[in-house]
Amino acid sequence: MELKSIILAAGKGTRMKSETPKVLHKIMDKTLLGYVLDNVKNLVTESFVIVGHHAEEVEKFVNENYTSAKTVLQSPQLGTGHAVSMVCPHLENYTGQVIILCGDTPLIKEETLKKFVEYHNSLNSDITVMSTIFDNPTNYGRIIREKDNSLKCIVEEKDATAEQKAVKEVNAGIYCLNWDKIKLAFSQLKSNNAQGEYYLTDIIEWGKTQKLNVNAYILEDNTEIYGINSRVNLAQATKMMNERKLKELMENGVTIVDPSCTWISDDTEIGQDTIIYPSTYLEGKNKIGKDCKIGPFAHFRGGVEVADNVKIGNFVEVKKSKIDSNTNAGHLSYIGDSELGSHVNIGAGTITANFNPLTNIKSKTVLKDKVKIGSNSVLVAPVTVEEGANIAAGTVITKDIKPWSLAITRAPLKVIEGWVKRFIK
């Protein structure tokens, strides 16, 4: 059955104390909303992102990065149930399923969402809520089940009895709906509560009155539904995501010398027997091959592809570049918007000058196989250094270099003997 998603991203995020919409804050250079959209995109045919606070910014982000997603404005913002109702006109004749998520929960996994939908289908459920277990469930809505283990209702803590407050199973805020059966609920929700809002959780009670099949799926890892409401939450989520990524890499044959000071984005792939040295920071989307050595103090800024047996050493920054096998960039260099062949050696202090501040244009540097770059050299893009050419230390390259040539820009060495002693006198 066809599946579409609705992502709630209209909130202001007051506690973030920021002019940036909450869902556009970043973890490892990727927005919170980007994580949610990426984790659902392989499961759905279309996503609807509910926007409100700073709607134009969120809409711009979605339109520039996701062809299968569109934004829907919620104004005024009258609760989560009201937010979903904004999508109803877009799904008027839709008879498939809808999964509803929050745009500030970047830790939820694609695999988890897939299992959630499979569970929904296995029970022939009409409404399935994702739940999880917390030893301390304070502030969460409690999951109350029927004797047959189906979902009876969700009770918010402020409305819960002492017995209900003792329940440790809580609402995780993710729903799977058979849309054709549930869509009517969004025109019948009531706002008779202290906030005067239309709550998404009220569809549970509505479904029960309609004799629908309503269930709850227990998520084993409760960290996956960790929501971001403050900068403290953002830092904690970053740490949790990083720890999860490092564990995954180590289990798949990557050596992380010191996990306590290594940061690797969720979108970075690394091959077996590669070693990541301490204080390395790999953000954005990168792909690293086997038997590489990265760091210490290396920085990838995204868009980096590294083949097998490559060395990227200390204080080397790499951005949007492709590096072929057996190439070394040992230390203190910047490689940006570049393409490096195999068996290339980058001397210390080398810079690919890829940005023209007068035109705001970034250009490409191409180093073919077996090129050697001497220390403290500058390659002013756009420029190509052909196979086997050597660039002498301290050289500034502003034009293409032919194969197996030596390029050198250096004033003749002048030695004045005895100068130091005469100067001291």
Bond preceding residue 106 cis, omega within 30 of 0: no
Relative to beta strand 275-276, strand 255-256 is parallel
Burial 123-159 (b: 16+ CB within 10 A, else e): eebbbbbbbbeeeebeebbbbbeeeeeebbbbbeeee
What's the CA gap between 276 and 312, in Å, rounded?
A: 10
- Output Rg (C-alpha) for the chain, integer angstroms: 28
Cβ within 8 Å of residue 252, ≥6 positions away: 272
Element (H, E) at 385: strand 383-385
For the chain, the maximum distance between any two Cα atoms, rounded to a whole number of angstroms, is 103
Relative to beta strand 127-133, strand 26-27 is unpaired
What's the CA gap between 33 and 106, in Å, rounded?
A: 7
Cβ within 8 Å of residue 335, ≥6 positions away: 316, 317, 318, 319, 321, 323, 329, 346, 350, 352
Q: Which of 357, 337, 129, 109 is nearest to 241 (CA)?
A: 109
CA 361-306-277 angle, to 5 degrees, is 110
Catalytic residue among 25, 54, 299, 331: 331
Q: Which of 76, 70, 43, 41 is nearest to 58 (CA)?
A: 70
Beta bridge partners of 368: none
Answer yes or no: 120 catalytic. Answer: no
The residues annotated with a catalytic role in the active site are: 331
